[in-house]
Amino acid sequence: MMPVRRNASGEPVDALEAATQAWTLAWGQMIETGAKAIKSNSFLIDTKQADVEIAATPSETVFQIDKVRVLHYRPLAKKKADTPPVLICYGLFGRQTMIDLQEDRSLVRNLLNDGIDVYVVDWGNPTRADQYLTFDDYIDLYLGSCVEHVVESNGGKPITLFGICEGGTFAAALAALRPDLFAGLALAITPIDFHGEQDEFWRGEGFLNSWIGNLDGDDVDLLIDTYGMLPGAMTGAVFSSLTPIASMTKYNIGLAAMDGNEPAMLNFLRMEKWIADRPDHPGEAARQWLNELYRENRLANGTFEVLGETVDLSNINCPVLNIYAEQDHIIPVSCSKALGKFVKAELYEEIGFPGGHVGVFVSRKAQGVVAGGITEWLKRTQKKKQKKSKT
Amino acid sequence: MAKTDNGFEHMMDIWQEGQDAFLKAQKEVAESFQKTITPFFDQATSSENAPYQAWQEFIKTWAPDWDPSAIMDGPSSAIFTQGREAFMTMLDPSNWTKYAPEQLREILQSVAQGPQFADLATPHIDAANTWREALDYQKAAADLSKVLQESWTRTYLRFNKTHSLEDLQSGDVQEALDVWLKSANHELLETQRSAEFMDAQKRMLRASVEIKARQRDMAEAWSEAYQIPTRSEIDDLTKIVHELRRELRQVKRELSSSKAKSKK
C-alpha cells in the first residue's frame, strides 16, 4: 500500500493532483528547453563562416623567420602611450588568435585602445618537417630573433615581452638568458614550477601535472617517435577531459541554454573555431616540454638548458607582472606563482584573475581586469625607462 | 595451462592445430559438397522447370536459415544480424585460440623475443608482436572502460542518495538535471585523479601508440616494396636539413659577431 503523502503542514496530499502538477511542470520545462534548442539550431543554420571571423584586428607581417612571423598591429588610439612596444608570444598548443577573439573580447584591441604599440608572434603551422625543432630553436632562434627585430624597430631600446602559457615559459627563459633586451616581462597563465604545491590543489586542479607525471619517459618517447609530432587532436582531447561534463554537454544542453541569443552564440562559435584550430606540437620540443619540464621540473630546479646554457630565472632584472587564473584547471596557481621565488621582490607583481585558464583573455570580466592591469603596470613601471639595449 | 615454458613451442602448437583444422575442414567440405551436389545435379538435369527449385534446396542444405526475401528486409534482419555477430566474434583475438588471453600474451611475448636466424625472414615474430599488441589494446580499452563505468555507477548512487524518487516526482526536470550533472562532474574528476584511472589510461595510451607504430612499420614495408620513399627516409632528410640550417645559423652568428668586434 502506498504511504499517504503529506504537505509541510502535515495535511494529506491528493496523489493524483500532485502527480498531475509534477507532470505539467515537467512537460512545461521540457517544452521550454525544446523551444530554446530550436532557436539555437535555427541560428546555427543561418550562420556562415564569415560571421564568426576571429583575429580581425588589422595587422601586417613585419618580420619572418621560417614559419614564424611577427605581426605589427595598426594603432587604434590617437595618442601613443609613453611605454616601450609590447611583443605578445603565445604557446604552441593553440593559436595566438585567442587574444583577439572578437572586437569586445580582445586583449590586442584593449592594449591598442590604450595607445600601446602591439606586436604578436605567430608560430605558423608546424608539420612533420618541423619535428626536430627544440626549445633551443623556439627560445633562442625564433623568439630571440622576433624580440631583436622589435628592439631594432624601437631604435635599439629594450621592449616588453608578454608571454602566455607555454609562450610565457619561453619568455621567462629568454628574459633570463638575454636580460638586456627587456624593459619589462609580463606573463599570463604560465607554468614555471611544473610540479607545483600539490597539497594546495583544489579538485580538478593539477590533473595535467599528475597525468604527465604518471607517464614514464619511455611512454613519451614512444609517442613522439611514433607520431613525429604531439598531435593537436590528442592535446585537445586531454584538455577536454579536464572539464568532463562541460565538454559533454556544451553541444546539447549548453546550446539549448543559449536560447538563440546572438552575442552568446557568436562568442561560443568563435571559441569553438579557436579550439578546433589546434596545431600539432613539434615533436622534439614536445618531448622536452613533457620530459624535461613536466616530469623532471628542470626550469624550477635550475637545470633547464637552452643551447647548452643553464636558464637561471634569478637573472631576470626587469619589472615582472605575473597574471594567474585562480580557477585554472590547466596550469595550477602554485605552478605560475613560483616565479616570485626567483625574481627580486621589488621587481615582481602579481594579478590573480578570478576565472579559468582561457577566461583570462576571453571572458567579459577579463577585458578590464587583465588588459587594464597590464596597461596600468606598463605605464607605472616602464615610463621613461627606455635606454639602449645591447643587441 | 601451458605444457612447458617454451613459448615458441606453444606458438607452433597453435599454428599446427590451426593448420590441421583447416586441412580437415577442407577435406570434409569437399566430401560433403560432392555428396550434396550429386542428387540435386541429377534432379536438375532431369526436368526443364527444376533447376531453380533444385538450386534453392541445395542452398538450404548448406544454409538452413537462408531466405532470399531476407535481403529485401534490410540489413537489420536476423540473418544479417547473426552474420554480423559471427563476424565480430571471429575478429575478437581472444576467440581464436583455446588459450586464455593473458596466457596467450605470454606465449606471444616469448615467441617475439625468440631467436632469429640471419638469413631467414621472421614473419612469426612480426605476427606474434602484432597479435600481442592487439590483445594489449583490447585489454587496455576494457580496463579503462571498466574504471569509467564504475565511476558512472558511483555517480548514480550518489545522485540516488541526494535525490529521492519523490524529489523527481516534483516535476522539476531542470533542477534534477543540474544535480545529476554536478554529481557526475564531481565523480569523474575524482576518478580522473585516482591511481586506477591514471594507470588504465597510461596502458591505453601505450597500447594505442604501439598499434600506430605497427601501422607505420607496415606502411614502411609497403613503401619499400613499391620503391616509394619511406617515412623514415623523409624524416632522416628532414633531420639532416634541420642540422645543416642550425650549423649555418651558428656560422652566420659567429661571423657577424666577429665583424662587430673588428669594427670596435
pLDDT value at position B1? 42
Query: Alpha-carbon distance A45 to A51, whole Å?
Result: 12
User: Which of left, alpha, beta for A155 (phi over 0: left; psi -120 to 50: alpha)?
Assistant: left
Region A172-180: what's the mean pLDDT?
Answer: 98
Q: pTM for the full model? A: 0.79
Residues of chain B with pLDDT under 70: 1-12, 14-15, 18-19, 21-22, 25-26, 28-30, 32-101, 117, 119-121, 164-169
Interface touch B242/A133, C-beta < 8 Å: yes
Selected residue of B186, B206, B250 to mutate for chain A interface (largest A Cβ count, 10 A): B206
Q: Which three cell numbers stand for residue B87?
A: 563476424
pLDDT value at position B88? 55
Region A168-184: what's the mean pLDDT?
Answer: 98
pLDDT value at position A29? 85
- Coil, strand or helix at B133: helix
Fill in the amino acid letter for B128: A
Query: Alpha-carbon distance A8 to A97, whole Å?
Result: 56
Residue A2 has pLDDT above 60, yes or no: no
Instruction: Give the model confidence (pLDDT) of A30-40 as tens digits.
Output: 888 889 999 99
C-alpha distances (whole Å) from A312 to each of A103, A300, A366 are: 39, 9, 31
Instruction: Give the model confidence (pLDDT) of B100-152 as tens digits.
Output: 667 777 777 777 777 776 766 677 777 778 878 888 898 899 999 999 999 99
Greater model confidence, A203 or A240:
A240
Interface of A with B (CB under 8 A): 5, 18-19, 21-26, 29-30, 33, 128-129, 131-133, 137, 141, 203-204, 207, 210-211, 214-215, 219, 222-223, 225-228, 241, 244-246, 249, 253
Distance from CA of A251 to the nearest CA of B (A): 15
Region A323-351: what's the mean pLDDT?
Answer: 96
* Helix boundaries (H) for chain B: 7-46, 50-62, 69-72, 78-91, 101-112, 123-162, 165-168, 173-193, 195-225, 231-263
Per CB-CB distance under 8 Å, the chain B contacts of A5 are: 166
For residues A277-293, one letter each, b for 16 or more C-beta atoms within 10 angstroms of the residue's C-beta and e for the rest, the string is ebbbbbbbbbbbbbbbb
Interface touch A141/B235, C-beta < 8 Å: no
* β partners of residue A322: A187, A350
Output the average pLDDT for chain A. 92
Query: Alpha-carbon distance A22 to A8, whole Å?
Result: 17
Q: Give which of B234, B7, B213 is closest to B108, Cα–Cα.
A: B7
Distance from CA of A299 to the nearest CA of B (A): 24
A72 touches A60 (CB < 8 A): yes
Reported as a pLDDT band with limits 50, 70 and 90, residue A86 is: very high
Reported as a pLDDT band with limits 50, 70 and 90, residue A350 is: very high
For residues B211-243, one letter each, b for 16 or more C-beta atoms within 10 angstroms of the residue's C-beta and e for the rest, the string is bebbebeeeeeebeeeeeeeeeeebeebeeebe
Q: Which three cell numbers stand for residue B124?
A: 612469426
Residue A388 has pLDDT above 90, yes or no: no
The shortest CB-CB distance from B169 to any of A22, A137, A210 is to A22
Q: Complex ipTM, two decimals?
A: 0.84
The shortest CB-CB distance from A132 to any of B201, B216, B239 is to B239
pLDDT value at position B163? 74
Q: Which CATH number fits domain A53-382: 1.10.3720.10, 3.40.50.720, 3.30.70.260, 3.40.50.1820?
A: 3.40.50.1820
Interface touch B201/A22, C-beta < 8 Å: no
Q: Which three cell numbers stand for residue A299?
A: 626550469
Between A and B, how many residue pairs show a Cβ–Cβ distance under 8 A? Answer: 86
Query: Alpha-carbon distance A159 to A147, whole Å?
Result: 8
B180 touches B152 (CB < 8 A): no
All structural domains of chain A with their residue ranges: 53-382
Selected residue of A133, A198, A226, A259 to mutate for chain B interface (largest B Cβ count, 10 A): A226
Q: Which three cell numbers stand for residue A66?
A: 621560417
Q: Give which of A137, A278, A50, A56 is closest to B242, Cα–Cα.
A: A137
Per CB-CB distance under 8 Å, the chain A contacts of B169 are: 18-19, 22
Q: Give me the DSSP letters along A294-342.
A: IIT-HHHHT--EETTEE--GGG--S-EEEEEETT-SSS-HHHHHGGGGT
Interface touch B210/A131, C-beta < 8 Å: no
Q: Please name the residue of chain A whose CA is at the shortest distance from the CA of residue B244.
A: A132
Instruction: Give the model confidence (pLDDT) of A122-160 as tens digits.
Output: 999 999 999 999 999 999 999 999 999 999 999 999 999
Distance from CA of A349 to the nearest CA of B (A): 32
Query: Alpha-carbon distance A107 to A216, whole Å?
Result: 38
* β partners of residue A120: A71, A88
pLDDT value at position B22? 66
Reported as a pLDDT band with limits 50, 70 and 90, residue A1 is: very low
* Helix boundaries (H) for chain A: 15-46, 107-113, 135, 144-153, 166-177, 207-214, 217-227, 232-241, 244-249, 255-258, 262-276, 283-287, 298-301, 333-337, 359-362, 364-382
Among the ranges given (A43-47, A49-53, B75-79), the one the predictor scored with the smallest mean pLDDT: B75-79
Query: Alpha-carbon distance A255 to A251, whole Å?
Result: 6
Region A69-88: what's the mean pLDDT?
Answer: 96
Output the average pLDDT for chain B. 76
* β partners of residue A100: A106
Other CB atoms within 10 Å distance of the CB of residue B102? 10
Distance from CA of B189 to the nearest CA of A (A): 6
The shortest CB-CB distance from A245 to any of B173, B184, B209 is to B184
The shortest CB-CB distance from B171 to any of A25, A227, A249 is to A25
B29 touches B12 (CB < 8 A): no
Query: Alpha-carbon distance B214 to B218, whole Å?
Result: 6
Residues of A catalogued as catalytic: 165
C-alpha distances (whole Å) from A171 to each of A88, A137, A313, B137 are: 9, 13, 11, 40
User: Which of left, alpha, beta for A246 (phi over 0: left; psi -120 to 50: alpha)?
Assistant: alpha
Selected residue of B165, B169, B187, B250 to mutate for chain A interface (largest A Cβ count, 10 A): B169
Distance from CA of A72 to the nearest CA of B (A): 25
Which residue is it, cell 638469413?
Answer: B119
Per CB-CB distance under 8 Å, the chain B contacts of A219 are: 202, 205-206, 209
Other CB atoms within 10 Å distance of the CB of residue B201? 21
Q: Please name the residue of chain B whose CA is at the shortest distance from the CA of residue A215.
A: B202
Distance from CA of A150 to the nearest CA of B (A): 18
Q: Please name the residue of chain B whose CA is at the shortest distance from the CA of residue A210.
A: B193
Reported as a pLDDT band with limits 50, 70 and 90, residue A325 is: very high
Interface touch A141/B249, C-beta < 8 Å: yes
C-alpha distances (whole Å) from A263 to each of A48, A260, A364 are: 15, 9, 12
Q: Please name the residue of chain B whose CA is at the shortest distance from the CA of residue A245.
A: B185
